[in-house]
Structure 1
């Protein structure tokens, strides 16, 4: 059901795990799927109506490998077989072979198993949503995956070996000596700078990894059907559940540099950061999906990255009680033999019971107290600061305490429940200074100022720009500050008041031992919001 099948996306699943060279671009174009988000929305609504109607016994999205994977997976899970007639599949291009139809990854399609005699009901529902439905085969009891063309068998194999019965094996994984050397590098010389660190700070805010992604998300409609409760730009997006007080929050996270330097800890950190982003809007972390992007796993050091990252993800998900509901894998991501950073992207969802208690990342009112939840563990390894100032990816990445992360999550959710927070924002890339700037700038429409002082026995570079895990910047009215600190203590979460939200005219000021950052809010806004537009609008080499 849904859209017609075309040649777009053929071999998309295998292309996602293919090494590329300089000659790959043109030959790869036919493998790119052509999506239509509005048709996808119609299909989602039609699918929900199909399920509610009781006319179907099964439904599955057609993703990687198209009809092949959907049909074989449904047959394997059901302990049955399937017989499909390729000439009955609605196509949008002439002369498509069974091979192309089976492997097409055209978007906006579902495979549905209808109860006998209720096929017309399925068609009527799809027609209501201006979509197409066609009977292309039937479920069998012989356990076979059988393909017909004009009634002639062109493929006939057992279904189970395509899914649960496929072979598994474990390769040898050995960590790269190069990565070990980078991790053990002495970073002392990069932490000696003191005094006015505003120049470094503005450089950090302009980094595309830290700077506002507004230029990107404003390309898309983020308020379709007016269900959006929290728009892009904060810790998590939030969508209301119609007819209830509840909402769903969603976020994605991963720092490939941290995974590169220490795969297990880096993957754990991706899960932990995703969870922090959810609790910052008041959502209870519930489940994850993942997108595992790695180089060639036939190489021992790449297999090591993959294995350790999966183990780290499993450990964090177990600690947070967030099951992995699904995901996808893209391997062999190398160009001319050079692999991408290992990037296990975590997509996490959470549930908000009362939309009226949603909090945002931006500071709300001048005069509010700024509270730091968590502690700076004094680590600079793998940080954005090192990359921006020295083009260096090195050092031990920040350590991670899963139990402390879980307690932090619980503390923030309790504070949210008691409505004693005015804002909350995860502290990650760019460190404390960048996080405070993001809180002060908000969406750029009503920025506020910051006056903060952090007394830590750390080098100023580390205090301002270190990316220790397990930290959240919160703001609260002075009347609620003591309650916030008391709730933090109740959950054994270190917490301290570090400053005050000021008006915009007062500017941005952070003082640490032997160092400081002082800037006008207009300068921060130009760096943070202007960086990516300046990059994207700059003339290319051929235009210059």
Structure 2
């Protein structure tokens, strides 16, 4: 094998190199040559190409993401212990505990190879959490596919769900929530966003840095193979053509059993105090781990690539550096601790090899078979890549889209029409039961799950003695964001915030996964900039800092971009999980209240989408002050035991909230339309800052008194009964058998029992 060394590169400046095939632009390649004062070696070119890719460098989004760094560093509970720039954000949640959580995308790999793409997406985000020093305790996923009846959905969806469930179940991590959404724009470009949450004591926090000259660099975990060469770093940085992806590098192959050993081994290494710095190997593999550790530390590192254990002995050095093989970690260890480090790895049957050493050279040098193949300033690889000021402008088509309001669409008026509309809505792909998906996930493993799907948010217990717990939700609405990306991002934030609030938790922090089309399209770039601005402004208003996240661009097939999809994850804290509020009705006789104001708002609604295949107008108005007030009411009601159930009102309106509330435990409800409100608007409007709650009769005066003191709208709309029906008085009644058939058969019928 002929190796392209630094010496060779210096002597052959005009040698042709495949920089364009690796995703680099001409000016980027010239910049690399300027940095090095020569042409790069093939190994250096590989490193720069993956680290300067859109997926790893955020080169098109950095200028906008800076807004998040300007947010306050305090949360409603405690301080932010680690934020943007680390593997994941870390929040003080009290009692000496810290929680870390983050979401990431694995979109394009999941289209190419659904099972492994989704599985390794879960594995990668779990290692991000582990690298902070935390024990992973739960996962969530936000999934989007083309139309349910599309042939490619039948290929992609089952594989993705099996990959998410298979990997997470084998790790023994509960999947506590998420979403599944269908829209034609995701045909050929599904979204697979995975979230993981972990817990640690404050003193267990670890950061990714290589400091201390003479400290050893240890690679441990799985061997490095040819799977995933170029992987997500290249695949996620290019638009899919209509005939399929233009480039199909090997998708990573996951081994959840190896990952489970890696988790337990790493946690024992932390407990033994033998880790000075740590980094997981995900996108860009060794290229990322070595350059980021060196860049964040003292700035110097030497690595001997021959010492990297391989599954394929034919791999060239550049392939080893680009490989995104899974279940690998890199640690910086003081010489005196190496022996103990190796003993712990051996105990867990995890391979570990010293492959390098930290130094004070200010350079990252990598040696292969006695010759230097990499000699670079590490910051130029990891942190000083291109920063693009992409042109952006409001799309010309948006005025026409916003002018096409839903007010002209025919509406149901009679009781029979309302009844049939409700049944059609609850059976629609975006509102039907997700049990076909969620039943493939283990939601209760580890024994600390307090609430899980189909609840509005997942709730996990952190501490048995105090009852301290957390709530999590992920949400987005691409139709809203298409109509108004600024408002759409805030509506995603508001829904996730509200879903956490209805459990009784106090929302405290945010992570995001921002999924958009090609940044080379000024209209898409405008959508992205507006969504970031909206999310930053919304988080500032709610006092929930963005702790970290992910950007996924180039999500389009040919000229067709996905709906702009800013997925927002919100973390909340419960002082005592025993006081959490479930979403389902349980007790006949309890009074049903609707909290918040209802307006005639159907732009981007599920009703317009399902019944009329219509998208136009403006999305529901955002009122973050009302969202915060609603959250405070629900938090107080939880603490004082004033409500027995609470369900947010969002997609599908009050009708959907009522259906899910009565079917949860098979308890009926008799509901009436408030005076002065049109029955159709009452049932299907998607006005925000609203929730349906059940109030025990003895607590009704206290509850309404609290709402009145806060001047928050609250309307008595019904009562829970044991009749086995959902009745809207004066309009219609639906028995549970019919309601369940409509709600529960859609996915099994389309995807098989």
Question: Structure 2 length normalisation: TM-score?
Answer: 0.68
By how many angstroms is 1:191 displaced?
5.3
Q: Say if 1:260 and 1:341, in contact at 8 Å, map to a contact too.
A: yes
Deviations 1:357-382 (A, max 9, x none): 12211112111111111111321100
Instruction: Rate the CA distance shift 1:349–1:132 in 2: closer, same or farther, 3 A.
Output: farther
Asked if 1:424 is matched to 2:646, the reply is yes
1:454 aligned residue: 673
Q: Is the 8 A contact 1:410 1:491 kept in 2?
A: no
* Counterpart mapping for 1:305-316 below 5 A: 305-316=527-538
Q: What does 1:42-53 align with in structure 2 at a 5 Å threshold?
A: 42-53=261-272
Report the Cα distance in structure 2 between the residues aligned to 1:278 and 1:150, rounded to whole angstroms.
Answer: 55
Q: Which residue of 2 aligns with 1:529?
A: 744
Return the alpha-carbon distance in structure 2 between the equivalents of residues 330 and 387 of structure 1: 26
Structure 1: gaps (5+ residues): 539-544
Go from structure 1 to structure 2 and tell me whether the alpha carbon gap of 1:301 and 1:120 turns closer, same or farther (over 3 Å shift). Answer: same
Would the aligned equivalents of 1:10 and 1:100 in 2 still touch at CA under 8 Å?
yes
Report which stretch shifted further, 361-370 or 165-174. 165-174
Q: Which residue of structure 2 lines up, in the alignment, with residue 383 of structure 1?
A: 605
Using the alignment, how far apart are the partners of 2:235 and 2:586 within structure 1? Answer: 47
Residues 452-461 or 151-160, more deviating = 452-461
Aligned residue in 2 for 1:31: 250
Describe the shift of the 1:43–1:309 C-alpha distance in structure 2 as closer, same or farther (beyond 3 A): same
CA distance in 1, matches of 2:676, 2:369: 77
- Structure 2: distance between partners of 1:424 and 1:164: 45
**Residues in 1 aligned to 2:327 and 2:406: alpha-carbon distance in whole angstroms:** 50
Change (3 A) 1:38 1:246: farther
Q: What's the counterpart of residue 117 of structure 2?
A: none
1:441 to 644, 649, 663: 663
Of 435, 458, 476, the match for 1:214: 435
Contact 1:192 1:459 in 2 (8 A): no
Partner of 2:153: none
**How far did 1:314 drift?**
1.0
Is 1:117 aligned with 2:331? no
Aligned positions, number:
530
Aligned partners of 1:407 and 1:492 also within 8 Å: no
Pairwise CA distance, 1:137: 1.5
- Deviation of 1:305 after TM superposition, in Å, equals 0.6
Moved more, 106-115 or 515-524: 515-524
Task: Give yes or no for the alignment of 1:83 onto 2:305.
Answer: no
225, 230, 236: which one aligns with 2:451: 230
Structure 1: 4+ residue segments shifted above 6 A: none
| Structure 2 partner of 1:397 | 619
Separation (CA, whole Å) in 1 of partners of 2:225 and 2:453: 33
Matched residue, 1:138:
357
Give the SS at the match of 2:225.
Answer: coil
Deviation per residue, 1:35-55 (Å, 9 max, x gap)? 334433333333332222221
SS in 2 for 1:287: strand
Query: How does 1:87-236 map onto structure 2 within 5 Å?
Result: 87-190=306-409, 192-196=411-415, 197-236=418-457
Question: Secondary structure at 2:608's aligned position in 1?
Answer: helix
Q: Deviations over 1:449-502 (max 9, x none)?
A: 121113254543322111111111111211112222222233342112211111
Answer yes or no: is the 8 Å Cα contact 1:255–1:343 preserved in 2.
yes
Cα distance in 1 for residues equivalent to 2:463 and 2:330: 27
Compared CA separation, residues 36 and 217, structure 1 to 2 (3 A): farther
Equivalent position to 2:507, from 282, 285, 295: 285
SS of the equivalent of 2:223 reads: coil
The structure-2 alpha-carbon separation of the partners of 1:41 and 1:212, relative to structure 1 and needing over 3 Å to count, comes to farther
In structure 2, runs of 5+ residues without a counterpart are 1-219
- The equivalent position to 1:258 in structure 2, one of 470, 474, 480, is 480
Paired position in structure 1 for 2:107 = none
Secondary structure, in 3 states, of the residue corresponding to 1:454? Answer: coil
Structure 1 residues 271, 44: CA separation in 2 closer, same or farther (over 3 Å shift)?
farther
Map of 2:491 onto structure 1: 269
**Residues in 1 aligned to 2:654 and 2:737: alpha-carbon distance in whole angstroms:** 19
Q: 2 CA distance for matches of 1:121 and 1:242? A: 30
Superposed CA deviations along residues 139-164 of structure 1, whole A, max 9, x for unmatched, are 22223232221232112211112333
**Residues of 2 paired with 1:395 and 1:230: CA distance?**
36
Cα distance change of structure 1 residues 98 and 458 upon mapping to structure 2, 3 Å threshold: farther
Pick which of 4-13 and 151-160 moved more: 4-13
Shift of 1:65: 1.4
Partner of 2:192: none
- For residues 198-244 of structure 1, the C-alpha deviation after alignment (integer angstroms, 9 at most, x for no partner) is 11111111122111211111112222222222222111122222544
Matched with 1:14 is: 234
Match among 708, 711, 714 for residue 495 of structure 1? 714
Task: Summarize the Cα distance change of 1:402–1:133 in structure 2 as closer, same or farther, 3 Å threshold.
Answer: same
Inter-CA distance 504–49: structure 2 relative to 1 (3 Å threshold):
farther
Aligned mates of 2:598, 2:258 — CA distance in 1: 47
Structure 1 residues 89 and 323: alpha-carbon distance in aligned structure 2, compared to 1, 3 A threshold = farther
CA distance in 2, matches of 1:133, 1:462: 62
Q: Which residue of 2 aligns with 1:508?
A: 726
Q: CA RMSD in A?
A: 2.0
Q: CA deviation at 1:284?
A: 2.0
**Shift of residue 25 of structure 1?**
5.9
In the alignment, which residue of structure 2 is the partner of 1:63? Answer: 282
Q: What is the aligned partner in structure 2 of residue 411 from structure 1?
A: 633
Provide the residue aligned with 1:541 in structure 2.
none
Tell me the CA shift for residue 517 of structure 1: 4.5
How far is 1:279 from its partner? 1.6
State the distance in 1 between where 2:258 and 2:710 align.
Answer: 47
